């Protein structure tokens, strides 16, 4: 099981034979540049490489009319003048005698990829194709696209495998109107596209690219358009779009397969998109999608015209599909005003169709009486002293020696006999322990650690933590002895700080009180997800109740935990499941899976002994990059859960800008000028 790469070198054959400044960017070098970068980084060798075969006419007919297919077929024998004349009948299209062959290979590649994933031959994969597909329509080529590779792949997955819910994520910078038209009234395909729009002044200049185009009939709510009205959107804007729009809907939809219209003209340097997102962003977007559909992702290349940016972005995606940890996301995590307005306009347009957006309305800024009394509110004054720009993110890990590719992916340190019977490959069963004197010294302030096996467990955990901090091990799972979880976490925090960690994210579940002497100088972001109450001691010390519904849990993760974690950019994450943590297996797995992103995969999960047997293998799997199990049926968040989240978001927003959801008058879609 791994990642498929589907390709055929014949797809480099089609090219522009005359002068056309609009079309010349769609050139054969796009594919060769991508392959070169994949080879250079040793990524191609790690994939299962499949050679594409041409799609059949019947397969093309899943989307295109026989007349249109015949028309494209006839281009094989046309001369240059005839090709040029025919091309002019379409918008931004060129034909070449090899176009029919290439376009059939492109569709065939997408279908083979879907087959490989849905038969279980691989987890996921990427089809490297030309020509692209998402603009092409039943009877028309459009925007360099001849056959609609991804739309045909979705139809194929429905027909051959009986799938009932397919998510298409179109992160190309152009609106894939071709895909939108095919599934306009089809509720089994959720189509999400963001695109440069500029209030309708950008190609393809369509009113139906705006946020208020939501699908027709039964398909209402299953077309999701996020128009960018300015150029220059960056990592924070893309991340906000995923956290606040795409992922809430995607979890509620619960797809069986994710297809990505993977255009990289949305990346920095691209002449078409003019956006700012760096290649690393695509690693994070990919990783966020990997928690859906059991990790079944089929990506198909669309646009991307800056060869170097394209090559790097594709590498980031493939690396993530292979399960590698994500590189740090650079830049201040502050979405721009225009992005927030766009996000707000989609939320407004889609809210009638999606429960998860209804609960996601703008935060309340003044706490209501339902909220925790006393200490939490009296401490709110502190919040105003923490302004955002005070601590501009220092370069991640500067000064800390963490090597990039540790030989061991995940290590497990256990105190429970019988656990860890069968560990997957590249998982180390950690036997080593810190020196006895060292362990004693760390344990000294905590009586609980001197009981039972407490010191043995701590010795192993210290050793594992050193491995993570030194970069020999990527991530770890360790069990703590009963009654000693809080003490263990306290020691782990001090150990990280003494190693020089600059930003440490502690996500503590269950009854784990905030350590007495917890530094509040911005080095530690303490987030307690527990039974009791929402409370904010400072912009870095936060407590939220554990939601009891899937909807509430997802809102908490997507709307609070991840915006904080990505805004904080931690060196390391300590995820601790303490007494009465109350988390289901699937919830713990999802939390661990998404927390890999902001910390480059450096997570230590500390689990109270009573939970370890149940959780160990799931946690190890997700830390190695496998998909978490499904959360089960979507249950709407309760009013109390929504209220608590709104309160926290409202209080924390001044410091943590990724929490922002524009609190503007609801955006209205205006006619294209
Ligand atoms: C696939 C793709 C863009 C067409 C732009 C025409 N097409 N100006 O990125
Ligand atoms: Zn594009």
In order, the DSSP letters of 22-86 are TTTTS-THHHHHHHHHHHHTT-GGGSEEEE--PPPHHHHTTTS-HHHHHHHHHGGG--HHHHHHH
The single residue of 135, 195, 244, 284 carrying the catalytic annotation is: 135
Question: pTM for the whole thing?
Answer: 0.93
Name the DSSP letter for residue 277: B
Pairwise CA distance, residues 68 & 193, whole Å: 26
Atom of ligand 1 nearest to the CA of 132: 1
Q: d(Cα 337, Cα 360) in Å, to the nearest integer?
A: 18
Residue 654 — φ and ψ, nearest 5°?
Answer: -60, -30
596 lines ligand 1 (CB under 6 A): no
Return the ligand 1 atom nearest residue 272 CA: 5
Evaluate: CB of 143 within 6 angstroms of ligand 1.
yes
Tokens matching residue 617: 């293998």
Pocket test for ligand 1, best of 14, 23, 26, 150 (most atoms within 8 A of CB): 26
193, 303, 306: residue to mutate for ligand 1 pocket, most atoms within 8 A of CB = 303
Strands (E), 297-430: 297-301, 408-413, 427-429
Whole-angstrom distance, CA of residue 457 vs CA of residue 517 = 23
Contact 47, 3 (CB under 8 A): yes
Residue ranges, the chain, pLDDT below 50? 364-405
280 within ligand 1 shell (Cβ under 6 A): no
Tell me the ligand closest to 25's alpha carbon. 1
Helix (H, G, I), strand (E, B) or coil at 408: strand
Tokens of 597: 């992103």
Within 13 A of 539's CA, how many CA atoms are on the CB side?
22
Using a CB cutoff of 5 Å, list residues around ligand 2, an ion.
Answer: 172, 174, 263, 265, 303
First to last CA, the chain: 50
* Alpha-carbon gap, residue 38 to 314, rounded angstroms: 8
Q: Hey, whose CA ends up nearest to atom 3 of ligand 1?
A: 143
pLDDT of residue 293: 98
For ligand 1, is residue 203 a contact (CB within 6 Å)? yes
Q: Is the beta carbon of 145 within 6 A of some atom in ligand 1?
A: yes
pLDDT at 667: 56
Tokens of residue 54, six digits: 């041409």
Which ligand 1 atom is nearest residue 133's CA? 1
Per-residue pLDDT, 360: 59
Q: Is 540 in the pocket of ligand 1 (CB under 6 A)?
A: no
Ligand closest to Cα of 92 equals 1
List the one residue out of 655, 668, 649, 654 whose CA is nearest residue 362: 649
Among residues 443, 468, 470, which one has the least CA distance to residue 601?
A: 468
Q: What is the per-residue pLDDT for 668? A: 66
Question: Could you tell me the distance, in angstroms and rounded to a whole number, from the CA of residue 301 to the centre of ligand 1?
Answer: 12
In sequence order, what E strands does 488-554 have?
504-509, 524-530, 535-538, 541-545
Q: Facing residues of 260 across strands?
A: 169, 299
* Ligand 1 atom with minimal separation from the 304 CA: 9
Q: Which of 25, 174, 270, 309 to mutate to test the pocket of ligand 1 (most atoms within 8 A of CB)?
A: 174
Domains of the chain: 3-15+25-365+378-398 (3.40.800.20), 409-658 (3.40.800.20)
Q: Is the dihedral of CA 346, 347, 348, 350 positive or negative?
A: positive
Q: How far is the CA of 157 from the centre of ligand 2 (A)?
A: 24
DSSP 504: E
How far apart are alpha carbons 435 and 121 in whole angstroms? 46
The C-alpha atoms of residue 221 and residue 215 are separated, in whole angstroms, by: 6
Question: Scanning the structure block, which residue is given the tokens 């859960």?
Answer: 641
**Gap between the Cα atoms of 563 and 578, Å rounded:** 23
Paired with 478 in beta bridges are 413, 606
For residue 92, which atom of ligand 1 is closest to its CA?
Answer: 6
Q: Is 370 a catalytic residue?
A: no
Q: What is the dihedral angle through the alpha carbons of 458, 464, 468, 470, rounded to the nearest 10 degrees?
A: 90
Residue 367 has a pLDDT of 39
DSSP per position, 4-37 = EEEE-GGGG-----S--TTTTTS-THHHHHHHHH
Kindly state if the Cβ of 484 falls inside 6 Å of ligand 1.
Answer: no
CA 189 to centroid of ligand 1, rounded, Å: 23
Per the CB < 8 A criterion, the answer to whether 507 and 603 are in contact is: no
């Amino acid at each position: 099981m791994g990642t498929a790469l589907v390709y055929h070198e014949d797809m480099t054959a089609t090219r522009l034979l005359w002068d056309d400044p609009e079309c010349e960017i769609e050139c054969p070098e796009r594919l060769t540049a991508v392959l070169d970068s994949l080879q250079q980084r040793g990524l191609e060798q790690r994939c299962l490489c499949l050679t594409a075969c041409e799609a059949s006419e019947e397969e093309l007919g899943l989307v295109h009319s026989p007349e249109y297919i015949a028309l494209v077929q006839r281009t094989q024998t046309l001369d240059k003048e005839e090709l040029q004349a025919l091309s002019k009948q379409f918008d931004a299209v060129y034909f070449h005698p090899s176009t029919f062959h290439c376009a059939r290979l492109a569709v065939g590649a997408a279908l083979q990829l879907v087959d490989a994933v849905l038969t279980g031959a691989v987890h996921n994969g990427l089809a490297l194709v030309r020509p692209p597909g998402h603009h092409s329509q039943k009877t028309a080529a459009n925007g360099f696209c001849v056959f609609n590779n991804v739309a045909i792949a979705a139809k194929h997955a429905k027909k051959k495998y009986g799938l009932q819910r397919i998510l298409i994520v179109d992160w190309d910078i152009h609106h894939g109107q071709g895909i939108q038209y095919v599934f306009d009234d089809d509720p089994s395909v959720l189509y999400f596209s963001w695109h440069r729009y500029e209030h309708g002044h950008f190609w393809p200049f369509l009113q139906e690219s705006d946020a208020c185009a939501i699908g027709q009939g039964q398909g209402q709510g299953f077309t999701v358009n996020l128009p960018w009205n300015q150029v220059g959107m960056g990592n924070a804007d893309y991340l906000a779009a995923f956290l606040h729009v795409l992922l809430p809907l995607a979890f509620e939809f619960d797809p069986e397969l994710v297809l990505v219209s993977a255009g990289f003209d949305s990346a920095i340097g691209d002449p078409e998109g003019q956006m700012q997102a760096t290649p690393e962003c695509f690693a994070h977007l990919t990783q966020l999608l990997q928690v859906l559909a059991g990790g079944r992702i089929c990506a198909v290349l669309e646009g991307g015209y800056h060869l170097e940016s394209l090559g790097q972005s594709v590498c980031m995606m493939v690396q993530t599909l292979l399960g590698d940890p994500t590189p740090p996301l650079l830049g201040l995590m502050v979405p721009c005003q225009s992005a927030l307005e766009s996000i707000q306009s989609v939320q407004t347009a889609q809210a009638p169709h999606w429960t998860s957006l209804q609960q996601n309305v703008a935060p309340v800024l003044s706490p209501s009486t339902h909220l925790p009394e006393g200490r939490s509110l009296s401490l709110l004054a502190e919040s105003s002293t923490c302004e955002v720009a005070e601590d501009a993110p220092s370069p991640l890990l500067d000064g800390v020696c963490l090597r990039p590719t540790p030989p061991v992916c995940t290590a497990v340190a256990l105190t429970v006999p019988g656990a860890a019977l069968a560990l997957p490959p590249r998982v180390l069963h950690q036997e080593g322990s810190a020196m006895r004197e060292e362990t004693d010294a760390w344990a000294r302030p905590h009586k609980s650690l001197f009981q039972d096996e407490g010191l043995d467990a701590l010795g192993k955990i210290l050793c594992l933590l050193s491995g993570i901090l030194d970069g020999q091990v990527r991530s770890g799972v360790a069990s703590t002895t009963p009654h000693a979880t809080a003490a263990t976490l306290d020691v782990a925090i001090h150990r990280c700080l003494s190693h020089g960690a600059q930003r440490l994210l502690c996500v503590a579940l269950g009854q784990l009180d905030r350590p007495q002497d917890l530094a509040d100088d911005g080095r530690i972001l303490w987030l307690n997800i527990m039974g009791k109450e929402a409370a904010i001691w400072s912009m870095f010390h936060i407590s939220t109740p554990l939601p009891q519904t899937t909807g509430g849990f997802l809102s908490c993760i997507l709307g609070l935990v991840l915006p904080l974690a990505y805004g904080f950019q931690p060196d390391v994450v300590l995820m601790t499941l303490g007494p009465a943590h109350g988390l289901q297996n699937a919830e713990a797995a999802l939390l661990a899976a998404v927390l890999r992103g902001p910390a480059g995969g450096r997570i230590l999960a500390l689990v109270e002994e009573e939970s370890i047997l149940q959780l160990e293998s799931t946690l190890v799997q997700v830390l190695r990059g496998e998909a978490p199990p499904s959360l089960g049926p979507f249950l709407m968040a309760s009013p109390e859960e929504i209220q608590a989240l709104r309160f926290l978001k409202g209080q924390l927003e001044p410091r943590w800008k990724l929490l922002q959801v524009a609190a503007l008058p609801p955006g209205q879609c205006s006619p294209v000028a």
